[in-house]
């Protein structure tokens, strides 16, 4: 995060109150900036809290209009992370190049809408009723989720996001992942779906919400169908997918990345936000699981063990792989993974949307800021404190690095804010001089 030569970048952003320019391509900077948000249902409140803090630090540096989409080359999200990604990158129709949501709005959105997406039954017969219901169909009908997502995202399509996005899903008809990527949509129009359809698809967690079917069109107008479920079954932690999408663009010779090489992973600055997992003593035990049949694997108090295990394994494998890569490159500080593995069993659920549990998740996010940065121990695969620097302090440093990188690109790019304003000043000075003469 300290790799940008500070002496060539303006110390202050004199144009903080001017209209925000889009983030200029990496070819004008030193870094490729990636933000990744895991899946996890209502636990999206945890990364939501982290993102609100990060954006507030950027606003301290660059003005109140600063938004996360102004600083990241790509934002990736799976399931609930996909919804957060869309919220951060969908343009506000009333204010052209500004996002529909500020990061601080994510918490209020979840607190208001999660209880309606996942309505709770507090009757004493609820556990038995849920088991019976799970045998008949998904636990929730998804109607409210579909309605609110369509209402908020409207007719926005993938190519219209304010920065590049990557949202993994899984197509059950083709039995393969479907990655909705801003990079790919340029050459594959069939992926230019409505953001609302993509978000509904990536959130369709098996047993919880219904699978989602919709159609798009290829370049000839031929209909292309999608039969999607939660992207978490393939990539619950989409950080590696995002890195892969960027690497493919470099291989294709995309001029936005020149002269970066496909193996220049040290140029990446990756921020990966987890949604939390249960503390070790509350995870499943083999003695108990050995007795499970179909119902046992699909129904447990506050969880669906089979789904939880697949998605947690997916997230942890990605974390381990990226941590190994960056440690091998001696670039540990270029990868920041923020994850809480101390949640209670109820807090680690994806759908217990009671007022108390939702508020506890917000508190967990706030407490996570105060905890030390953790890194994967490559010997046993477990996360452990990497020192005394807290996640809060690491995010403050990250905000400074992102701000410097944006200003560097603005200064170097002919269409950046700094360059544009400098040209305006030069023109004004020339006009003034000519009038005097």
CA-CA distance, 23 to 11, in Å (whole number)? Answer: 19
Query: What percentage of the chain reaches a pLDDT higher than 70?
Result: 86
DSSP state of 44: G
Quick check: is 319 catalytic? no
Residue with the larger pLDDT of the pair 12 and 244? 244
Over residues 216-245, the mean pLDDT reads 94
Catalytic residue among 73, 192, 230, 333: 230
Q: Mean pLDDT score of the chain, rounded to an integer?
A: 88
Neighbours of 88 (CB within 10 A): 28
Taking only Cα atoms into account, the Rg of the chain, rounded to an integer number of angstroms, comes to 22
- Helices marked H in 93-230 — which ranges? 105-117, 126-136, 143-153, 182-185, 195-202
Over residues 261-283, the mean pLDDT reads 88
Catalytic residue among 21, 79, 182, 196: 79
Return the structure tokens found at 409.
Answer: 């690109």
Decide if pLDDT at 322 tops 90: yes
**312: helix, coil or strand?**
helix
Decide if pLDDT at 9 tops 60: no
pLDDT of residue 352: 94
CA-CA distance, 273 to 285, in Å (whole number)? Answer: 27
CA-CA distance, 82 to 214, in Å (whole number)? Answer: 17
Q: Cα dist. 157→77, 150, 154, 185, 217 in Å?
A: 16, 12, 9, 10, 13
What CATH class is the domain 26-283+297-412?
alpha beta
By DSSP bridging, strand 164-171 and strand 74-77 are parallel
- The tens digit of pLDDT for each residue in 383-429 reads 889 889 999 999 999 999 999 999 999 999 998 765 555 544 454 44
- The tens digit of pLDDT for each residue in 135-168 reads 678 999 999 999 999 999 999 999 999 999 999 9
Decide if pLDDT at 47 tops 90: yes
């Amino acid at each position: 995060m300290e790799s940008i030569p500070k002496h060539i970048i303006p110390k202050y952003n004199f144009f903080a109150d001017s209209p925000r320019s889009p983030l200029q391509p990496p070819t004008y900077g030193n870094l490729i900036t990636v933000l990744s948000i895991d899946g996890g249902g209502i636990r999206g409140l945890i990364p939501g809290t982290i993102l609100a803090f990060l954006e507030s630090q950027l606003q301290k540096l660059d003005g109140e209009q600063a938004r996360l989409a102004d600083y990241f080359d790509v934002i990736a999200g799976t399931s609930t992370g996909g919804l957060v990604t869309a919220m951060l990158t969908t343009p506000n129709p009333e204010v052209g190049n500004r996002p529909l949501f500020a990061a601080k709005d994510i918490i209020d959105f979840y607190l208001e809408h999660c209880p309606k997406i996942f309505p709770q039954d507090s009757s004493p017969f609820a556990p038995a009723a849920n088991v019976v219901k799970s045998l008949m169909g998904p636990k929730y009908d998804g109607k409210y989720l579909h309605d609110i997502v369509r209402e908020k995202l409207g007719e926005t399509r993938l190519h219209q996001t304010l920065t590049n996005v990557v949202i993994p899903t899984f197509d059950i008809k083709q039995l393969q992942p479907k990655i909705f990527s801003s990079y790919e949509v340029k050459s594959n129009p069939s992926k230019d779906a409505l953001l609302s359809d993509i978000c509904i698809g990536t959130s369709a967690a098996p047993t919880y919400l219904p699978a989602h079917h919709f159609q798009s069109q290829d370049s000839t107008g031929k209909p292309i169908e999608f039969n999607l479920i939660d992207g978490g079954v393939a990539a619950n932690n989409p950080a590696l997918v995002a890195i892969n999408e960027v690497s493919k663009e470099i291989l294709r010779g995309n001029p936005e990345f020149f002269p970066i090489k496909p193996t220049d992973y040290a140029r990446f600055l990756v921020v990966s936000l987890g949604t939390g997992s249960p503390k070790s003593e509350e995870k499943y035990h083999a003695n108990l699981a050995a007795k499970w049949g179909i119902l046992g694997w699909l129904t447990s108090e506050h969880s669906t063990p089979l789904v939880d295990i697949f998605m947690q394994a997916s997230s942890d494998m990605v974390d381990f792989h990226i941590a190994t890569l960056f440690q091998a490159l001696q670039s540990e500080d270029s990868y920041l993974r923020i994850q809480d593995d101390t949640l209670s069993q109820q807090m680690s659920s994806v759908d217990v949307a009671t007022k108390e549990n939702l508020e506890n998740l917000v508190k967990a996010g706030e407490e996570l800021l105060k905890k030390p940065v953790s890194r994967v121990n490559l010997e046993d695969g477990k996360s452990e404190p990497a020192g005394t620097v807290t996640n809060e302090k690491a995010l403050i440093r990250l905000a400074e690095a992102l701000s410097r990188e944006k200003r560097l690109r603005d200064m170097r790019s002919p269409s950046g804010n700094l360059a544009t304003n400098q040209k305006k000043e030069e023109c004004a000075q020339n006009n003034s001089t000519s009038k005097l003469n």
